[in-house]
Amino acid sequence: MYILARISEVQSIETNRGPNWIHGAGENPIMNIAEATEAAMFDPDEGGHIAFAPDGQRVPEDVNAQVQDFVWTTISEAFKYSNEHGGKITAEKSLLDFFRDRVQQTDFSDEVRRLCLDACKLWGTYVGDQVDRQSLRFFRLEECVDGSNFVVASTYKRILEHVSKTALAKAEIRLNEPVKTINAPNRTPTTKPTITTTKATYTFDEVVVTCPLGWLKQNTSAFNPPLPPRLQKAITNISYGRLEKVYITFPHAFWHQTEPTISAQFLEPQYAPHPKHIEWNQECLSFAALPSPHAHPTLLFYTYGESGAHIINSIQGLDPLSAEYKDVLTQALHPFYSRLPGYDGSEPTAFLATQWQKDEFAGNGSYCNFQAGVEEADVDIEVLRGDGMGLERGLWFAGEHTAPFVALGTTTGAYWSGERVARGICGGLEGEARDDSSPSAVLRD
Ligand SMILES: Cc1cc2nc3c(=O)[nH]c(=O)nc-3n(C[C@H](O)[C@H](O)[C@H](O)COP(=O)(O)OP(=O)(O)OC[C@H]3O[C@@H](n4cnc5c(N)ncnc54)[C@H](O)[C@@H]3O)c2cc1C
């Protein structure tokens, strides 16, 4: 959670620096918690989606509808293809290769084909990296829980309060004390796992490591005895994405006046200055359409991969309330927001950009993804769950990268992974090993 403070006014807006969405409203525990805590939800699919062509002109509505239809149909065909052909697909083949093949089979004009390929690149905002790096073989691991995707208009605040309630009430929580080493030898009647932080060493019956995959990548040496070679290999094999967000607040939502715009895509923008070798597609979502009282005149830009990294590098170390910070982000994003319908020259009143790539405790990135070249990502994920070590050493692994396949990279997956470990520990305590890695097992119980 973060407060987006306006520079010029004493007014603040609550935003999420991490998740905004619930991916798949079907059998989803986060959706259940959202409903139980009366979180306000918003379905952005309700309309107002526009796109801009590489020359900066609006893509006509009928062409945009054709392009979007192609993109989403091809995404679902790619899921099907990945599910059905899996191991037979060359490891190097990317989602972009699949799109290129499919677009060739259409009778679209060259211009529409190009728009389709540009639009499919915005899949990058889902995984945090370019689609030419998205493994087609393991694209199936990106499939989410069935059902609509919702934005949590009232932010994840209540969901977070709900899931943290028991821990806050009953656990002893030590903040500002990063873990440095984790000692977990095989269990004996006299050995227990210990953790050394920057301040002290503690002994536990069981240790659950929920550090992000990006942290594990940089800290396998924190474990003593060393993690098994196959687990270390899995940590290396699975990639870690680079999704970032930039919130921009305006005095009023000009894009919402005459032609309410919920989202806009800017395809391969030739009109926006950027390093030539970097893909520069952008996408923004309006918060002016959220249900009352959560609506605010803010646009959320999602950035990913190399373009996101470029923007984040250019604001590194700058005070978010400084003029320089504002200038850098204005320069990067003015070419886009100034094209939205109704633009009247308004200047932003506040900016906030996440910098997960600069945060070692976020593992210098966002969440796991599956890049072209990975040979057996499904096995890697199973290994990352590290279940054997729980019973043998009292060392358990949870977090989005250990989630059931259908929820990897999401809050739902992180939640389910915690349930799996809790069941493993309780089962272990009862002298019974359990395998509850599938969501259906969790839901069934
Ligand atoms: C920009 C962005 C947008 C996202 N949008 C969505 C979305 O809309 N919907 C969705 O479902 N998911 C979304 N996600 C993904 C979602 O946030 C993650 O899947 C989820 O937070 C993972 O939870 P986790 O517990 O595995 O890890 P984290 O939430 O990363 O928690 C790991 C914790 O470990 C702590 N830690 C790290 N190292 C140490 C250490 N050495 N010692 C002590 N503590 C340590 C960290 O401080 C952190 O608190 C988004 C993520 C990002 C970055």
Q: Is the pLDDT of residue 297 over 90?
A: yes
- Angle, helices 323-337/305-315, rounded to nearest 10 degrees: 150
Decide: 380 in ligand 1 pocket, CB within 6 A. no
Give, for ligand 1, the residue of 1, 245, 366, 420 to mutate: max count of ligand atoms closer than 8 Å to Cβ.
Answer: 366
Who's near 283: CB < 8 A, 6+ residues apart?
122, 125, 263, 264, 265, 266, 301, 302
Residues 365-373 have a mean pLDDT of 98
Provide the pLDDT for residue 46: 74
**pLDDT band at residue 432, thresholds of 50, 70 and 90?**
very low
Token pair in block for residue 191: 């050995």
For ligand 1, atom 12, which residue shows the shortest CA distance? Answer: 410
Q: Going edge to edge, which strands form the sheet with 41-42?
A: 21-22, 150-152, 41-42
Q: For a substitution probing ligand 1, which of 361, 369, 415 has the most ligand atoms within 8 Å of its CB?
A: 361
The pair of three-digit structure tokens given for residue 315, joined into one six-digit string: 């604001």
Cα distance between residue 246 and residue 262, in whole Å: 16
Query: β-pairing, 350-353 with 368-369?
Result: unpaired
- The full set of domain ranges for the chain reads 44-147+242-360, 175-234+375-444
pLDDT, tens digit, for every residue of 206-241?
999 999 999 999 999 999 999 999 999 999 999 999
Strand partners, 13: 4
Q: Which atom belonging to ligand 1 lies closest to the Cα atom of 411?
A: 11
**13: pLDDT confidence band, cut at 50, 70 and 90?**
low
* Cβ atoms < 10 Å from Cβ of 95: 27
pLDDT more than 70, % of the chain: 93
Which of 41, 369, 385, 411 is the pocket-test mutation for ligand 1 (most atoms within 8 Å of CB)? 411
Cβ of 237 less than 6 Å from ligand 1 = no
**Helix, strand, coil share (%) of the chain residues, nearest 5:** 40, 15, 40
Fold of 44-147+242-360: Polyamine Oxidase; Chain A, domain 2 (3.90.660)
Q: By three-state DSSP, how is residue 190 classified?
A: coil
62-65: list long-range contacts, CB under 8 Å, 24+ apart.
Answer: 63/112, 63/115
Task: Please give the structure tokens belonging to residue 97.
Answer: 């290769």
- Cα(67) to centroid(ligand 1), Å: 33
Q: Comparing 44-147+242-360 with 175-234+375-444, is the CATH topology the same?
A: no
pLDDT at 436: 43
**Ligand 1 center to 392 CA (angstroms):** 27
Ligand 1 center to 253 CA (angstroms): 30
Please state whether the peptide bond connecting residue 225 to the residue before it is cis, i.e. omega within 30 degrees of 0. Answer: yes
Task: Report whether pLDDT(442) > 70.
Answer: no
Within its chain, how far is the Cα of 247 from the centroid?
16
Phi/psi-derived region of residue 170, left when phi > 0, alpha when psi is between -120 and 50, beta in every other case: alpha
CATH domain 175-234+375-444 topology: FAD/NAD(P)-binding domain (3.50.50)
Residue 124 phi, psi dihedral angles, 5° rounding:
-55, -30
Structure tokens at 59: 């893509």
Assess contact for 399 and 213: CB atoms under 8 A.
yes
Residues 41-78 pLDDT 10s: 999 887 799 999 999 999 999 999 999 999 999 999 99
Q: Is the dihedral of CA 204, 222, 373, 282 positive or negative?
A: positive
Q: What is the pLDDT of residue 41?
A: 95
Q: Which atom of ligand 1 is nearest to the CA of 400?
A: 26
The residue with tokens 């969501």 is 439
Q: Calculate the dihedral angle through the C-alpha atoms of 166, 172, 176, 181, rounding to the nearest 10 degrees.
A: -110
